[in-house]
Structure 1
Amino acid sequence: MRLFFTLLATLMLAGTAAAQHHNHGKPSAAPEAFTATPAFGPDGTLWLVRATADKIVVVKSTDLGKTFSEPVAVTPEPMNLDWGPDARARIAVDPKGGLIVTFAIFQDKNFNGRAFFARSKDNGASFTPPRPITADKTSQRFETVAVDPSSGRVFATWLDKRNGAKARASGRAYPGAALAYAWEDGDASFGKTEIALDNTCECCRLGVAFAGPGRPAIVFRNIFPGSVRDHAVVTFKDATTPGPLRRVSADDWKIEACPHHGPTIAIAPDGSYHVAWFTDAPSRKGLFYARADNGNVPFGAPRALSSPNRQPARPYLLSDGQALHLVWKEFDGTKSVVRWQVSRDSGRQWTEARTIAETSDASDHPLLVAYGGHAYLSWLTKIEGYRLIPLENQP
């Protein structure tokens, strides 16, 4: 089954740019997807959801990624999958071991999307036919799901353009998209879609963490006055009440386009918030990290993660017990490398950044996943295939 990943990777292409601006003309051929998104089940099974140009499959491993099962189709028929740089199929596992997979398609040549989900109740042997997350057909993209660790409920959030369509129909301007959300209603559908915030940047991935039972916190690239596209966090007061907008940093990146480069968030056991992001503002360029003691205070001064000339990109944060892990990708002139730092005092101090993986060809974004007190780098590369690298074994 390792051969399956290597061969599949060889057939796929991936961009390496740190950020890409929105292109309103669709290319003659959509690029192949090149992603592998992980999740651990409650029994320690590693699940991966994979995408090709028009199909979604799921595989599992019971030996920490050394071997994998045969792929199981999530999409029974070919679909026009969203191939954006920040788009990917995602997978979550509920406390009972049930699987939920989400993904988006393009509905037209104007990049209007539709978000879908599928469920498996038989340990990944089969999936329900994909169903839309919401009944609205305007556009949804960059959907992500997370499981509330307290209740096991599945929370979904995405970028939604229904309010923009309504505004334009009445002759009003509406920059960007809306931040939408819904909670799964049982395991057959999602409940009513609600809008948490209007006028967010429309082409960047979202990050989700939980601040408490029924209290998701979403980090996203917002559109501030003057078309400034900086990052913000909204933390829910309860399951149905989004809290106020909290700006992460004042980079003041004014751009009339979409960076296609979203942020990442983690919330530590002590309630501290941690965010990492990319910016190309005049005042600071590259990847940055900031922390806040809790959800009610401003974030501290941003800390640069790397030199801009190393093309740092795609940060990812994970809180695992008392350890806080942070990875990102760089280019050293000949190879793409994954850099890693860990903090054991809630982000106040960090180890020196070190390289834990590298490749000389195309690669997916570096991701982090944890099970049983152990954290791992999850990384798909064209040459090496899929790798699950234990972080505790790093020097």
Structure 2
Amino acid sequence: MRYLFYSLLQVGVFSATCQPSTTPQKVTSGHLPVIVADAKGTVHLIYGLDSTIYYTTAKNQTASFNTPTKVAILPNLVAGAKRGPQLAITDQFIVITAVNRQGNIFAYSLNRATHRWSTAVPVNDRPEVAKEGFQAVTGTDKGTFYAAWLDLRDDKQNKIMGASSLDGGRTWSANQVIYCSPDGTVCECCRVSIVAHHKDVYVQFRNWLDGARNIYLAHSDDGGKTYAPAQKLGTGTWKVTACPMDGGAVVLSASGQLWTTWRRENTLYTCLPGEPETPISTGRNVTIATGTVKPVLAWDEEGMVWVKSANRSAVSIGKGQMPSVAVTGKIALCVWESDGYVMMNSVRLN
């Protein structure tokens, strides 16, 4: 496999008028990239290729990506339709979670002091229950991580399950039910998202209740030990007989503000819990990131990837789908998949 890693200086940075100055760049061959920026400005990128999980970093928006590391080979790795490896970072550890086609979730943990990856650690404590492949992970407070996923245990109906790790992803707690729909199942083919700060843990998912497939948010204020009843987001509803295959995302800003984004029919929304939703565009596969600035959103529509920052019009940054976005300083970096390649472009936020 030939790697095509470029300096981030070569990536298109948008001017104040949000017009692209260069074309998007091919980063490498791969699928479903996820990009995260940590508090020190280091940019972390993971992606899947065949059955291999890759990881690489760049020190900041002016540095080149390092040669990618093969984190693990997971036979029958799932890496399609937002089901790919997921990434979470704390000051001391980096955790990647991934699922195979049999429905088992594994965690791989990097100790940032020793630069050594752990072997695969099971996250689900019942075998082959995560067959839909949708799972998410987040980190907070040094070595604390939380995971959530769609789970078929006991009744073969999808429910939201969770687990936590207090040692940087090396071991995981007994699994617990976060939410079980009284109508039998949550939406079976939509992404689950999770974010945490100290003991507050938020899990976003698409429900299936009374014939409607709306977005719900579950909150724990005791480190994932218990969850309050899940609350519907927004005031509208979406009654649809088919799965939308689209779950949105949830993030916390540096100031602790919770932001959600998701799709209903063909419209994308942002929403603060307990408040009406705000339409932002049409499209699908919307995601969101924050830093010291207001949220930045990315999505795809009709084969093009779009980015929108606060008080700016959306701008198209390249052909493809399934974007992931991160904010470092006053730059938003967006990666996405296009014809078997990981692509990247960026937006200046000032």
TM-score scaled by structure 1?
0.73
Is residue 72–residue 126 contact of structure 1 (8 Å, CA) maintained in 2? no
- Show the counterpart of 2:218: 234
Letter paired with 1:81:
L
Is residue 90–residue 101 contact of structure 1 (8 Å, CA) maintained in 2? yes
Q: Take 2:267 and 2:217, find their aligned partners in 1: how far apart are those partners?
A: 20
Q: 2:324 aligns with which of 367, 373, 376?
A: 367
Match status 1:305 vs 2:280 = yes
Deviations 1:306-334 (A, max 9, x none): 24xxxx11212223235232232233xxx
Q: Take 1:152 and 1:376, find their aligned partners in 2: how far apart are those partners?
A: 27
Instruction: Tell me by how many angstroms 1:50 deviates.
Output: 1.3
Q: 2:204 aligns with which of 219, 238, 254?
A: 219
- Show the counterpart of 1:201: 187
Deviations 1:46-91 (A, max 9, x none): 2211101211111222253752222221224x51012341212112
Q: Take 2:47 and 2:336, find their aligned partners in 1: how far apart are those partners?
A: 10
Q: Take 1:65 and 1:330, find their aligned partners in 2: how far apart are those partners?
A: 29
Match status 1:321 vs 2:265 = no
Change (3 A) 1:157 1:391: farther
Change (3 A) 1:325 1:339: closer
Q: 1:355 aligns with which of 292, 296, 315?
A: 315
Change (3 A) 1:288 1:355: same
Instruction: Tell me by how many angstroms 1:125 deviates.
Output: 5.1
Letter paired with 1:131:
V
Change (3 A) 1:267 1:386: same
**In structure 1, the residue corresponding to 2:295 is in which secondary structure?**
strand
The 5-angstrom pairing of residues 282-301 of structure 1 reads 285-292=266-273, 298-300=274-276
Is residue 318–residue 325 contact of structure 1 (8 Å, CA) maintained in 2? yes
CA RMSD of aligned residues (A): 2.8
Letter paired with 2:348:
L
Is residue 376–residue 389 contact of structure 1 (8 Å, CA) maintained in 2? yes
Q: 1:82 aligns with which of 59, 78, 87?
A: 78
Q: Which has the higher helix share?
A: 1
Higher relative contact order, chain-length normalized (CA < 8 Å, sep 6+): 2
Structure 1 unaligned segments of length 5 or more: list them. Answer: 13-33, 108-112, 166-175, 293-297, 343-350
Change (3 A) 1:265 1:42: closer
Instruction: Tell me by how many angstroms 1:233 deviates.
Output: 0.7
- Show the counterpart of 2:17: none
Q: Take 2:159 and 2:335, find their aligned partners in 1: how far apart are those partners?
A: 31
Match status 1:387 vs 2:344 = yes
Identity of aligned residues (%): 18
Instruction: Tell me by how many angstroms 1:40 deviates.
Output: 3.0
Q: Take 2:239 and 2:114, find their aligned partners in 1: how far apart are those partners?
A: 45
**In structure 2, the residue corresponding to 1:217 is in which secondary structure?**
strand
Change (3 A) 1:252 1:41: closer
- Show the counterpart of 2:109: 119
Letter paired with 1:40:
A
- Show the counterpart of 1:102: 97
- Show the counterpart of 1:67: 64
Letter paired with 2:81:
P
Is residue 5–residue 64 contact of structure 2 (8 Å, CA) maintained in 1? no
The 5-angstrom pairing of residues 15-26 of structure 1 reads none
Q: Take 1:184 and 1:218, find their aligned partners in 2: how far apart are those partners?
A: 16
Change (3 A) 1:337 1:119: closer
Change (3 A) 1:45 1:218: same
- Show the counterpart of 2:23: none
Change (3 A) 1:40 1:324: closer
Q: 2:136 aligns with which of 106, 126, 144?
A: 144
Change (3 A) 1:388 1:306: closer
Deviations 1:82-131 (A, max 9, x none): 234121211222212x2211111101xxxxx2111111225685422212
Q: Take 2:106 and 2:165, find their aligned partners in 1: how far apart are those partners?
A: 13
- Show the counterpart of 2:11: none
Instruction: Tell me by how many angstroms 1:385 deviates.
Output: 4.8
For the pair shown, the structure with the greater C-alpha radius of gyration is 1
- Show the counterpart of 2:334: 378
Q: Take 2:160 and 2:349, find their aligned partners in 1: how far apart are those partners?
A: 36
Instruction: Tell me by how many angstroms 1:138 deviates.
Output: 3.5
Q: 1:339 aligns with which of 307, 313, 326?
A: 307
Is residue 209–residue 265 contact of structure 1 (8 Å, CA) maintained in 2? yes
Instruction: Tell me by how many angstroms 1:39 deviates.
Output: 2.4
Deviations 1:169-211 (A, max 9, x none): xxxxxxx41111111031321111111111322221122233x
Is residue 304–residue 316 contact of structure 2 (8 Å, CA) maintained in 1? no
**In structure 2, the residue corresponding to 1:91 is in which secondary structure?**
strand
Instruction: Tell me by how many angstroms 1:390 deviates.
Output: 4.2
Match status 1:155 vs 2:115 = no
Q: Take 1:124 and 1:69, find their aligned partners in 2: how far apart are those partners?
A: 17
Is residue 304–residue 318 contact of structure 2 (8 Å, CA) maintained in 1? yes
**In structure 1, the residue corresponding to 2:155 is in which secondary structure?**
helix
Q: Take 2:281 and 2:78, find their aligned partners in 1: how far apart are those partners?
A: 30
Letter paired with 2:70:
A
